[in-house]
Structure 1
Amino acid sequence: MEFPFPRKRDSGRRLMLIGLAAFSLAAAANDAAAQDSLSQASIQAQQAQAKLQQRIDSADDKTRQALQTLRQANQQAARLESYNQELAPVVESQAKRLATQRQALAQISVTREALPGEMRKMVEQLRQMIQADMPFLRQERLARVDDLDKLLASDQASPSDKLKQIYSVWRTELDYGREMDQWSGPLDGAQSAESSRNSQYTREVDFLRVGRSGWYYVTPDDRAGGVWSDADQQWEALNGDDIREVRRGIRIAEDQSAPSLLHLPASVRVENGVAMANSENSAAADAPATDATGANAEDQG
């Protein structure tokens, strides 16, 4: 026997179950899609975060590099500032030197025009000084001045060479005031102390010059000697002790004896003007002590 109602109920149940299953499938599909979407969004977020972190790391590297560059620049700036401070005096000195050179260049034409006349004056002053000086080696010294005259008149030498030669002769003359020298030669050009009656008397003697303060001679046998009197322009006789001192000075000048003080009358006046250095009564206490090195206590050179 068949019962229709229960059949309808079972059919509706099956439909309900089918709908629930379809809904479940749809929900499951939606959940899967949602999960896929969430997973994709998570992946994208992670990728974006990774990219952002890379940019942050890159920015940090650039920042650190910029800081390192800045530190190096600051250190270099400090070194340059210190270097500039060290160079500042040098630059200032060079600037002054350049200014001086510019001024010299601006005046070079004037200097070039005035140089020949100035060199001529220097030579004439040198000649006058030799003629006014004690007459030791006068011919030799004047010959050097004559050579300078010829040099100035020549066009073969440059102005610098002429000036250099003039300075050389001047230095030679100035050295006479600081040096001690000895030589042998004829006693001419002035009467000796032992032959005042014979103006033509000539004799070979040994000379001693101590700077420009003393000029002496002794005969080879040491029996006679004299000191040049610059005030009287003639030789005056020396006594035996002075002759022995002159001979000792000659040995010192020849490096045959150790340097020491020489007690001799001077050829020029004492600088303070108290007494004549080569008067007849002069003695070692009255005359300036003459050093064997070529200078005296009262420098006359």
Structure 2
Amino acid sequence: MMLSKLTKASLLISLTTSSLIFATAASATDPSSSTSLNKVVNAGQQINHSAAKSQQKVNTLTNQAQTKLQQFHVVTKEVDGLSVYNQQMQAQLDSQMTELAQLARSMEEVSIIERQISPLMARMISTLDTFVTLDVPFLPSERTKRVEDLKTMMNRADIAVSEKFRRVLEAYQIEVDYGRTIEAYSGILPIDGKKMDVDFLRIGRVSLVYQTRDGSRLGEWKQSSKGGEGQWQALSQDYRLGINKALRIARKQLAPDLIMVPVSINETSTQAE
């Protein structure tokens, strides 16, 4: 369309120019043709004016077309970007749906595990209770209270199953640690019908001895090898220096060193360095 209008305008200008040349030549030979020449000139001016207006319209339409083309390119890029974004969002949505399905299956499995783990924890606590009762009687109040707290915890609905299981395992871990540590603590022990203040020394689970505060009496726990109840037995004063040294080491008052204490694994007493 643009080329067609430009061609027409060029033809009109050419015809106008030819007419003017022809009219000028004619007026030079014939004075009576002045009026006709003026009309021709006016007509040419009108044509030129109309052509200029047409050219302005053509320029305006061209600018508008270029602007629309640029806008089209911008919109096309936005559409392409949105298409890529939608693909990414769809991939994330598919992944989330897969994860939701896995969570739903996990929740079903958790409910099954919860039904199975509660009886397991009850058996573990019962076993721990029996073990503490039959074990060497060190820290009896503390260890018994720990077991009783676990029993109370099992009946509480405000504690999650995972937390209950963690506490049961923690209690087992504490009992395991007792078997590889040395410890000194004070307490009351009935001796010959009298309650006396004593210092207890525990070396793992292989030795539990006591010494009165004045050091006049020593004793060790004899664990029965026949399944019966153990008992306290008096120790010779020969162990006094070794026990005093071990007590100071357990209280971190001395650096670790070799110690001489009785070891009571069964009813046969031996010595250990």
Aligned partner (choices 209, 213, 216) of residue 223 of structure 1: 216
Q: TM-score, structure 2 length as denominator? A: 0.57
Q: TM-score, structure 1 length as denominator? A: 0.52
Count of residues in correspondence between the two structures: 167
Q: What residue number does 2:256 align with?
A: 259
Cα distance, 1:261 vs structure 2:
2.3
Letter in 1 for 2:133: Q
Distance (whole Å) between structure 2 residues aligned to residue 119 and residue 151 of structure 1: 11
**Map of 1:109-124 to 2, 5 A cutoff?**
109-124=111-126
Letter in 1 for 2:235: L
Cα distance, 1:107 vs structure 2:
4.5
Q: Which runs of 5 or more residues in structure 1 are unaligned? A: 1-100, 270-275, 291-301
**Map of 1:184-199 to 2, 5 A cutoff?**
184-188=186-190, 192=191, 195=192, 198=193
Q: What residue number does 2:159 align with?
A: 157
More strand by share: 2
Distance (whole Å) between structure 2 residues aligned to residue 142 and residue 105 of structure 1: 36
Shift in alpha-carbon separation, 1:156–1:104, aligned structure 2, 3 A: closer
Aligned partner (choices 241, 245, 252) of residue 244 of structure 1: 241
Q: Which runs of 5 or more residues in structure 2 are unaligned? A: 1-102
Q: What residue number does 1:176 align with?
A: 178
Cα distance, 1:104 vs structure 2:
7.4
Contact 1:265 1:277 in 2 (8 A): no
Distance (whole Å) between structure 1 residues aligned to residue 106 and residue 181 of structure 2: 37
Contact 1:266 1:277 in 2 (8 A): no
Q: What residue number does 1:147 align with?
A: 149
Q: What residue number does 1:203 align with?
A: 196
Distance (whole Å) between structure 2 residues aligned to residue 130 and residue 139 of structure 1: 11
| CA offset digits 1:219-262 (Å, max 9, x no partner) | 11211110111126111111122122111100000111121222
Question: Which runs of 4 or more aligned residues in structure 1 lie more than 6 Å from their structure 2 counterparts after TM superposition?
Answer: 101-106
Distance (whole Å) between structure 1 residues aligned to residue 141 and residue 213 of structure 2: 23
**Percent identity (aligned):** 31
Contact 2:243 2:260 in 1 (8 A): no
Higher relative contact order (CA 8 A, sep 6+): 1
Distance (whole Å) between structure 1 residues aligned to residue 161 and residue 107 of structure 2: 17
Across the aligned residues of Structure 1 and Structure 2, the Cα RMSD in angstroms comes to 2.2
- Secondary structure of the 1:236 match is strand
Cα distance, 1:127 vs structure 2:
0.4
Letter in 1 for 2:208: W
Shift in alpha-carbon separation, 1:144–1:210, aligned structure 2, 3 A: same
- Secondary structure of the 1:260 match is coil
Contact 1:216 1:225 in 2 (8 A): yes
Letter in 2 for 1:160: S
Distance (whole Å) between structure 1 residues aligned to residue 106 and residue 265 of structure 2: 43
